[in-house]
């Protein structure tokens, strides 16, 4: 039977898979850029990969910060500690990581205009997360008051 | 500055142990400890009523407005 605990576990697994993919790509992409993985018949042009590589590494930093924070947040939810100041801080970190990624992607529009659209998405996610963070902060305050009402 | 709960003083005067008072009032010893240590954010009328009944006192004997400076918050 599907329940909330299993849903949290699934989210946690997905987060870790994405972290693993990001790390594997960080290792593999330089070889792809050098043409070590694919021959001339490859569908992926190695020059394009070489161009995108610095953008990917710059983007990886806030992305991994956000992903590891998300993993910690999910671990806290699994423990049952949902409305805590630590989780508010994690949401704040994820939100700022989204904004940092947006800045990196906005700068990367010199490489390709596509990054501009992704930057807009990152700003949008960052804003949503800020609102969620504000909601969590208000919930933490309410919970504290409730817990200390005798 | 704030509201201070003088429950420990009244308990000592009435010679009632914390565990017994908690049982009589119908709250957990942990919650009584929160009240004693002035960590409580609010107190229900029902709890106040039970405390006054068991300690044979008025709400004013339990609660006191403290005009002193509050300790600095650790940021």
B74 in any annotated domain: no
pLDDT value of position A39: 56
DSSP code for B15: T
**Rounded Cα–Cα distance for residues A36 and A137 (Å):** 49
Burial class (CB in 10 A: 0-12, 13-18, 19+), A87: buried
Given a cut of 70, is residue B71 above it in pLDDT? no
Token pair recorded at residue B18: 């914390």
Angle value at C-alpha B47, between B45 and B52, nearest 5 degrees: 90
Token pair recorded at residue A41: 């018949």
Q: Which residues of B touch A148 (CB under 8 A)?
A: 34, 39-42
Contact A144 B31 (CB under 8 A): no
Give tens-digit pLDDT for A39-48.
555 556 667 7
Which residue from A minimizes the CA distance to B33? A150
**Rounded Cα–Cα distance for residues A149 and A41 (Å):** 70
Query: ipTM of this predicted complex?
Result: 0.71
B50 interfacial to chain A (CB closer than 8 Å): no
Give tens-digit pLDDT for A24-33.
999 988 877 7
B75 in any annotated domain: no
Structural domain total, chain B? 1
Give tens-digit pLDDT for A67-106.
999 999 999 999 988 999 999 999 999 999 999 999 999 9
**Rounded Cα–Cα distance for residues A131 and B26 (Å):** 40
Report the CATH number at residue B37.
Answer: 1.10.260.40
Q: Is the dihedral of CA A49, A14, A140, A138 positive or negative?
A: positive
Boundaries of domain holding B10: 2-65
Contact A149 B44 (CB under 8 A): yes
Give tens-digit pLDDT for A77-88.
999 889 999 999
Contact B44 A144 (CB under 8 A): no
Q: Rounded to 5 degrees, what are φ and ψ at A119?
A: -60, -40
What is the number of CB-based contacts under 8 A between chain A and chain B? 23
> Min CA distance, A148 vs chain B (Å)?
5
> Min CA distance, A149 vs chain B (Å)?
5
pLDDT value of position A99: 96
B6 in any annotated domain: yes
B45 in any annotated domain: yes
């Amino acid at each position: 039977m599907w329940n909330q605990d299993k849903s949290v576990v699934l989210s946690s697994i997905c987060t870790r898979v994405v972290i693993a993919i990001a790390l594997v790509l960080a290792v593999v992409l330089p070889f792809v850029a050098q043409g070590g993985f694919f021959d001339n018949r490859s569908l992926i042009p190695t020059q394009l990969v070489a161009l995108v590589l610095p953008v990917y590494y710059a983007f990886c930093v806030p992305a991994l910060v956000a992903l590891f924070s998300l993993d910690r947040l999910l671990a806290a939810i699994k423990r049952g500690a949902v409305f805590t100041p630590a989780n508010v801080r994690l949401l704040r970190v994820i939100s700022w990581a989204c904004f940092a990624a947006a800045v990196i992607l906005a700068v990367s529009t010199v490489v390709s205009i596509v990054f501009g659209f992704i930057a807009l998405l990152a700003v949008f996610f960052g804003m949503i997360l800020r609102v969620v963070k504000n909601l969590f902060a208000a919930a933490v305050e309410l919970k504290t008051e409730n817990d200390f009402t005798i | 500055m704030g509201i201070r709960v003088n429950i420990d003083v009244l308990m000592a005067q009435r010679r009632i142990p914390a565990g017994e008072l908690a049982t009589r009032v119908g709250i957990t010893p942990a919650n009584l400890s929160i009240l004693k240590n002035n960590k409580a954010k609010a107190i229900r009328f029902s709890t106040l009523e039970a405390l006054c009944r068991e300690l044979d006192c008025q709400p004013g004997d339990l609660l006191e407005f403290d005009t002193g400076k509050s300790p600095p918050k650790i940021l």
